[in-house]
Structure 1
Amino acid sequence: MVGLVSWCFRRAPWVVACWLLALGGLLFAAQHTGAAYRDTVALPSADSTVAADLLRGAGASGDQERVVVRSADSARLDTLAGRLRSLPHVVSVDPGPVSADHRVAVLDVRFDAEAEALGQAVADDFADVVRGADGNGVSAGASGQLAAMTAAAPGLGNAGIGLVAAALVLLLTFRSLTCVLLPVLTASVSVGCALAVVALLSHVLTVPKISTEIAALLGLGVGVDYALFVLTRYRQGIQDGLAAEEALATAAATSCRSVVFAGVTVCVSLFGMFTVGLAFLDGIAVAAAVSVLLTMFAALTLFPASLRLLGRRMRVRPVDAGGRWTRAARSVTSRPAPYAAAAVLVVAVLSLPMTGLRLGVPGADLDPPGSVTKVAAELLEEGFGPGANGPILVAGRLDRASVESLRETLLTRADVGPPGYLPGPVAVLTVVPRTAPDDPATTDLLAWIRTVGGPDVHLGGVVATQADFSAAITGRLPLFLLSVVGISVLVLAWVFRSVLIPLTAAVMNLLTAAATTGVVVWVFGAPLEPYLPVFLFAGLFGLSMDYEVFLIARIQEAWRRGADTRGAIVEGLVSTGRTITAAALIMALVFVSFAFVDARVVREAGVGLTVAVLLDAVLIRCLLVPAVMVRLGEANWWFPRRLRPREHRSGAIPVPDDNHEVLTSTDR
């Protein structure tokens, strides 16, 4: 670690040039090849997939969209139908149902391929034609998979706002423009490379569009933080009178090592999403992990090189070792019980809304204003009722008598259209619920239809697919939680050679997860996207471990030098408290900037991660963790004797003195 960082410091121009060449080359390659994002969710064994395959085999192939128009002029409807027929890949445009007041009409548009195969360009052209019908008393929208591809395209403009806010915090913290530029430039270059890599990976993996915003969100947050922790330790070395390279080597032997373990822990948490077994989530995990790994690597290579080129202008002012953090640390360690009780009470209150957690895909009425899907949802509800935006397709190989009998049964709880018969033979009933697609009553209706229909009846459509998606994730949640928590505990146990420290860290992170989920449910209401809790838990668990690693590493350093546990905790808090809270504020400002984008799930992730890092850095790491560690005392450092490489202070691994390691690495 010291050798790599020192080498990059000494060969700064070459390292910076390599990173800039990599950024330019990756961006050129990504722009040249384009992206192939796929938002479809593959559920091979789900009932909705069986229904789709059954309909496809009976000849009902190709994407089907509904264009909803509100107009009293039938000529305008005919004009719109003609424009739709002229679009590439359109097979047919047929008149659909008309509302009772004859003001809202539906056009059924069939394409010659599925939405995923048609691609974003066809979706954009289709949406443009629909939007072109607006005006002069006419309002038009579209509903379907192709239309959904245009609802909230990725946009990273808010990331710049987050970086500006982060830069202001850095300026106020360090009072040096160089200290602002170094972390921001490091994070920007590494995230730019990561987004280009994600675009290239979309050609070989199932990567949803939302992955770009999630990768940027995590990459910018941890990128600035990782550089900040290395910068802080470097500045401390300069204040102690070390030369620049020696100060950097000290940072490499301590903070850079913590950065590596923190980055690995974040990636381990993200890769826990693979246990759910959905390619959709795998793509999000890979995209986020690529961003974290590149930002971690940039903190170890690009940041030291940039420090060599720009560090001469850095102002390093003496920092008072006492002050508020010393008083706060002594207060927490002297009265741990009240602080722990207060922290747990706050977490419990914030967690209360989690009791209302319900997974499902929110209706299109929550899509961005002006999107064709939102307009269609509003028009469908106005003309045909709340359930018209989520019809359920009931398909099966049934005789006519069985179909009519089933239809009569379904009419007792929903509106059912006349049966359709396809080659095969396959019978199809279109069921329109009397409640909105995201209403719990619609989910109950879906389960009831599957019960009364029997094994020969399969349910398709958006509502059925979303219900199967939620069920698939919910069924794998225990395995996902166990894998993320278990692997993270093992990693921390290996890093700190302790049993209780990783176990208490896992409990603390579970408390943070509960409080974060509660806040998201309270702010956005139910339902939440099925994959959001998975991503939030993986992300916040990994990010929480970042602060755990940085804090405990400093506490353990002090303990190894001979301090008792209470004294080591005070020294660790004083050394890292200011930096951790500044880092959390920076990360929160980056995350909260994503709370104002069009995509609802990104807003939820932005708010959730903002709450998570602030809650974790201030309440958990600065209050609850120190209070619990004081109570545990020397038991914090217990580790099975047979797993310890050498005896050293109750089982901790001996490490070289920082200054000795610095001199050795520098001499080499």
Structure 2
Amino acid sequence: MTALVSWCFRRAGVVIVLWFVALGGLGFAAVHTGAAFRDTVDLPAADSTAAANLLRAAGTGGAGERVVVRSEEGPVDSGAGRARLDALAARLAALPHVVSVGPPPGEVSADRRIAVLTVRFDAPAADLGQGTADALAAVVRDAGGLTAGASGELAAMTAAAPDLGNAGIGLLAAAVVLLVAFGSLTCVLIPVLTAAVSVGCALAAVTVLSHVMTVPKISTEIAALLGLGVGVDYALFVLTRYRQGRAEGAEPAAALAVAAATSGRSVVFAGVTVCVSLAGMLTVGMPFLNGIAVAAAVSVLLTAFAALTLLPALLRPVARRMSVRPDGGDGRWGRLARAVTARPGPYTLAAVLVVAVLALPMAGLRLGVPDAALDPPGSVTRTAAELLEEGFGPGADAPLLVAGTGGTSVGQLREALLASADVGPPTALPGDVWLLTVLPRTAPDDPATGELLTSTRAMARIIGSPDAHVGGVVAARADFSAAITARLPLFLAAVVGISVLLLAWVFRSVLIPLTAAVMNLLTAAATTGAVVFAFGGPIEPYLPVFLFAGLFGLSMDYEVFLIARVQEAWRRHGDTRAAVVDGVAATGRTITAAALIMALVFVSFAFVDARVVREAGVGLTVAVLLDAVVVRCVLVPAVMARFGAANWWFPGARARPARGRHALQGSAR
């Protein structure tokens, strides 16, 4: 590690050129190849997939989009409104891959102001791609005097395109914190530039990767969110240790060598740990989640590598001219640590109470994909959802498609379903396939709609035919949630188990990794509760998976930083309480400053258009601040003081302090 960092410092010009060449090359490749993001979820064993396959075999497997329009000046089915509707239908029919457009006026609302046209394409939405989706949205937005929206899989592909404009706000806020903390413009520019270049490379790499694996569009925002957050932090850790060395009188090269041997090793461990935690998402077994995990891991690895290569190179030209502010001491953190360790019981109770209060809303957690009414204002999907509800009721945007073969009781099935929903007449399709369209009387994300889906599936098999299946957007979303929920135990066990094993290996302790796992679970509950409180429900089923993996990875950074210093002090004098005080006093200010910077980057993503990114931004902001301030600076010291020497017990090892030795020198920053 020291050799790599020292070489980059000596060959600063070469390293800087190589990084910017990589940025330019990856950027050119991304622009040249374009993006091939895919938001489709592959659930081969799901009932909704079986229904879709049945309809596809009957010749109706192409994308079916509903274009909803409203006339503001009179009836949509006559006069000027009808003329505008006919013109829109003609433009829709001229789109590539369109097979048919339902003849105007189509389905008309009771007040004759809202109409629905069905547009059928020659292939599924996943095969048609983003270009066709954008072309459809462009025609719908330019509806020639009509208010129009679109509902369907193609339209959903245009609802929340990646928007990274808020990342600049997060970096600006982080720069302000760095300026206050360091008092030097150079110390602001170096970490921010390091993070920006590395994340730029990561986003370009993710765009190229979208051609060889399933990568959802949301991955770019998730990768930017995590990459910018940890990137500034990693650069800050190395720069802080370097400045400490310079303040002690070391030459730039020597100070950087010490920073590499301490903070540099911690950056490597932290980056790898975040990636290992993200890899836990692979246990869910969905290409959709695999793409998010890989994109985020690529961003984290590149930011960690930049902190060890690009930062030393950028430091070289200004190393001797950089002003070093004298250390003002950490007396406040030492006093806090002494108070916590003197009365660990009350402080533990207070910290757990804070976590419990934040976690309370988690009792109302409901997993599911929010309906289009929560899409960004002005999107074609949200407009369609609002018009459908206005003209045809809350369930108009949530049709259940019941399809089957054979069976002679389709009429009886329809009669049974009419008691709880609006059901159209049976439709006979080629291949002896029949279709019933069931419209709920409640909104798509209403729990009653989920209950209707369950009862419809049961009645379809019992009354309709054993080969009956229920599909549609609502059914596919429910199957997606169920598939993730079924794999959650394996995912949680994998992430928690890996974290415990890593900490046990690093610290040669049993209690420390176990208590860290329990505290991370508490923080995860509080984080989820905060998201539920802020956004209500339903919450995207993959969001808790991402938040849990990201939280466990990021919290390991602060855990290693704190415990390494505590263990180092304990091995010097053998007093656990005194070691905890020393560790908190030495790391408290850095941990909270780093957490504040990361939180400022995360919270900037709470204002983007994509709802799931807003949720992730709020969740990670709460997680980082809670973990750094309440858990690492209060709960961990209190619990360690209570356990005393038992913290250091490990099978086969002698739990004795080794005076004069420094534990985990490579991990202390």
Same fold, judged at TM 0.5 (above): yes
Distance 1:322 1:50 in 2: 63
**Counterpart for residue 569 of structure 2:** 558
**Against the structure 1 CA distance between its residues 459 and 589, is the aligned structure 2 distance closer, same or farther, given a 3 Å change threshold?**
same
Distance 2:665 2:657 in 1: 21
Q: How far is 1:650 from its partner?
A: 5.2
Aligned residue identity for 2:353:
L
Aligned residue identity for 1:123:
A
**Counterpart for residue 34 of structure 1:** 34
**Against the structure 1 CA distance between its residues 463 and 149, is the aligned structure 2 distance closer, same or farther, given a 3 Å change threshold?**
same
Aligned residue identity for 2:41:
V
Q: How far is 1:410 from its partner?
A: 0.6
**Counterpart for residue 342 of structure 1:** 350
Q: How far is 1:305 from its partner?
A: 1.6
**Counterpart for residue 176 of structure 1:** 184
Q: Does the aligned pair in 1 maintain the 2:509–2:648 contact within 8 Å?
A: yes
1:323 equivalent in alignment to 2:331? yes
Distance 2:485 2:160 in 1: 26
RMSD, aligned CA: 1.8
Identify the range of structure 1 (298-307 vs 485-494) with the bigger mean alpha-carbon deviation: 298-307
1:90 equivalent in alignment to 2:101? no
Distance 1:229 1:653 in 2: 25
CA offsets, 1:597-647, max 9 Å, x none? Answer: 000000000000001001111100010011111111122122221xx6xx6
CA offsets, 1:187-228, max 9 Å, x none? Answer: 111101110110111001100000000000000000000111
**Counterpart for residue 523 of structure 2:** 512
**Counterpart for residue 494 of structure 1:** 505
1:404 equivalent in alignment to 2:414? no
Distance 2:231 2:21 in 1: 19
Q: How far is 1:500 from its partner?
A: 1.2
Match of 1:245 among 242, 249, 253: 253
Aligned residue identity for 1:101:
D
**Against the structure 1 CA distance between its residues 393 and 340, is the aligned structure 2 distance closer, same or farther, given a 3 Å change threshold?**
same
**Counterpart for residue 474 of structure 2:** 463
Distance 2:297 2:647 in 1: 31
Q: Does the aligned pair in 1 maintain the 2:571–2:663 contact within 8 Å?
A: no
Q: How far is 1:648 from its partner?
A: 8.1
Aligned residue identity for 1:87:
L
Aligned residue identity for 1:219:
G
Question: Number of residues paired by the alignment?
Answer: 654
Distance 2:16 2:234 in 1: 18
**Counterpart for residue 123 of structure 2:** 113
Local SS of the residue matching 2:327: coil
Q: How far is 1:657 from its partner?
A: 9.7
**Counterpart for residue 3 of structure 1:** 3
**Against the structure 1 CA distance between its residues 246 and 119, is the aligned structure 2 distance closer, same or farther, given a 3 Å change threshold?**
same
Residue ranges of structure 1 left out of the alignment (5+ in a row): 663-668
**Counterpart for residue 13 of structure 2:** 13
Q: Does the aligned pair in 2 maintain the 1:497–1:653 contact within 8 Å?
A: no
Distance 2:118 2:309 in 1: 56
Distance 2:507 2:661 in 1: 11
Q: Does the aligned pair in 1 maintain the 2:574–2:657 contact within 8 Å?
A: no
Distance 2:655 2:47 in 1: 59
Distance 2:312 2:649 in 1: 36
Distance 2:237 2:491 in 1: 30
Aligned residue identity for 1:476:
R
Distance 1:243 1:633 in 2: 40
CA offsets, 1:152-196, max 9 Å, x none? Answer: 100100000000000000000111111111111111111011101
Q: How far is 1:250 from its partner?
A: 1.5
Aligned residue identity for 1:127:
A
Q: How far is 1:655 from its partner?
A: 5.6
Distance 1:168 1:153 in 2: 29
**Against the structure 1 CA distance between its residues 341 and 171, is the aligned structure 2 distance closer, same or farther, given a 3 Å change threshold?**
same
**Against the structure 1 CA distance between its residues 65 and 414, is the aligned structure 2 distance closer, same or farther, given a 3 Å change threshold?**
same
**Against the structure 1 CA distance between its residues 458 and 654, is the aligned structure 2 distance closer, same or farther, given a 3 Å change threshold?**
farther
**Counterpart for residue 382 of structure 2:** 374
Q: How far is 1:563 from its partner?
A: 5.2
**Counterpart for residue 282 of structure 1:** 290
Q: How far is 1:297 from its partner?
A: 0.9
**Counterpart for residue 160 of structure 1:** 168
**Counterpart for residue 369 of structure 2:** 361
Local SS of the residue matching 1:536: helix
Q: Does the aligned pair in 1 maintain the 2:330–2:589 contact within 8 Å?
A: no
CA offsets, 1:108-143, max 9 Å, x none? Answer: 0011122122221221111111111153xx211100
Local SS of the residue matching 2:319: helix
Matches within 5 A, 1:277-316: 277-316=285-324
Q: How far is 1:320 from its partner?
A: 2.7
Q: Does the aligned pair in 1 maintain the 2:572–2:662 contact within 8 Å?
A: no
* TM-score normalised to structure 2 length: 0.95
Q: Does the aligned pair in 1 maintain the 2:567–2:663 contact within 8 Å?
A: no
Local SS of the residue matching 1:42: coil
Match of 1:448 among 445, 455, 461: 455
Aligned residue identity for 2:478:
A
CA offsets, 1:61-82, max 9 Å, x none? Answer: 2111000011222111111100
CA offsets, 1:40-74, max 9 Å, x none? Answer: 00001000000000000111121110000112221
1:637 equivalent in alignment to 2:648? yes
Distance 2:330 2:611 in 1: 44
Aligned residue identity for 1:150:
T
**Counterpart for residue 225 of structure 2:** 217
Match of 1:584 among 579, 585, 595: 595
Q: How far is 1:517 from its partner?
A: 0.4
* TM-score normalised to structure 1 length: 0.95
Match of 2:582 among 530, 550, 571: 571
Local SS of the residue matching 2:228: helix
1:602 equivalent in alignment to 2:602? no
Distance 2:330 2:152 in 1: 62
CA offsets, 1:333-353, max 9 Å, x none? Answer: 222211111000010111110
Q: Does the aligned pair in 1 maintain the 2:572–2:661 contact within 8 Å?
A: no
